[in-house]
Amino acid sequence: MRYNDAFNFKQKVRMIDLFAGIGGIRLGFEQTFGKDIQCVFTSEIDKYAFETYKSNFGEENIYGDIAKINASAIPDHDILLAGFPCQSFSMAGLKKSFDDPRGDMFFEIERILLNKKPKMFLLENVKNLITIDNGKAFQTIEKRLNKAGYKIFHDVLSGKDFGVPQNRERLFIFGISDLSAYFEFPKPLNIPTNVGDILEQDVDSKYTLSDKKWNYERERVRENLNVSGFGCKIFNGDSPYTRTLLARNNNNILIEQEGKNPRRFTIRECARLQGFPDSFVINKVSDNQAYKQFGNSVCVPVIKAIAEQIKQFI
């Protein structure tokens, strides 16, 4: 990546965190920049994710539905971060693209870019965004970001290539207002991963599937053998990585147990699958909400690696 001296920050880098969830993207940037970055605005509509976010980042500058916030009321910032809703683009969803109101959330990002003109942005979504509607959805996004005054770069990165034992492929779009700039996404770190590294010891029996639930899961798999990615899959401590952690079904990845039915991953194990440190607070909401939150979040080490690349501009 070519160093670009057009961005000479004399003070802290100011960022905003949109569709923030529990703050995985913010965390990756803070791990990279430390005290040299400041989050001046956060938006998150889910009240439970809001609670987890506040428990870890404090309550300052946190707001609700971005669609109800005037862009001019948002503080000036240098970089916009957004993991905008992916359900309308997801392989696991209905793939309605912009026909789904959740797909319209991209235009909220565009609205803020046009009004605030930050120097850079980083967007995250499912890799399917590139191919849905024969590529038309992504082409629409690309054209509108270009028209807003940004040169964009995109790549698909997976957690398993950055030290996290989860095959979680996500699309990242980096935009920069200097049209002469050149950006390269980080290359795989080739760090060996092992599911056993993130497993807890002496796990509560409540995570073990009952005979009824286990039989139900096996029957679902048997009835849908020709449906790609359907149903649960079992892993063990020697597995190099798991399939993608989902928000809507925490039984899609299971851990085998000797002499017992398999079990679900614990909440803390899900956090570790996403690269969150054990210091991250997750006890302010129910287990069901916590599973949803980590399934909707990002692999923090991937974000950190991207942030390290971006830092070279600054």
Q: Give the residue numbers marked as catalytic.
A: 86
CB within 8 Å of 253: residues ≥ 6 apart: 232, 233, 235, 242, 243, 245, 265
Type of residue numbered 187? K
Q: Are strands 79-82 and 151-158 parallel, antiparallel or unpaired?
A: unpaired
Rounded to whole angstroms, the Cα distance separating 137 from 89 reads 9
Rounded CA-CA distance 169/247 in Å is 15
Length of the chain: 314
Give the separation between CA 109 and CA 71, rounded to whole angstroms: 10
Burial class of residue 142 in the structure, from the number of CB atoms within 10 Å of its CB (0-12 exposed, 13-18 middle, 19+ buried):
middle
Do residues 246 and 92 touch, judged by C-beta distance below 8 A?
Answer: yes
CA distance 243 to 290: 19
C-alpha to C-alpha distances, 43 to 20, 46, 109, 260, 274, nearest whole angstrom = 6, 10, 11, 43, 21
Tokens for 156?
């698909």
- Strand order, beta sheet including 233-235: 233-235, 253-257, 260-264
Residue type, 53: Y
For residue 288, give every residue at least 6 positions away whose Cβ sits within 8 Å of its Cβ, in sequence order, or none.
none
In whole angstroms, give the CA distance from residue 18 to residue 188: 27
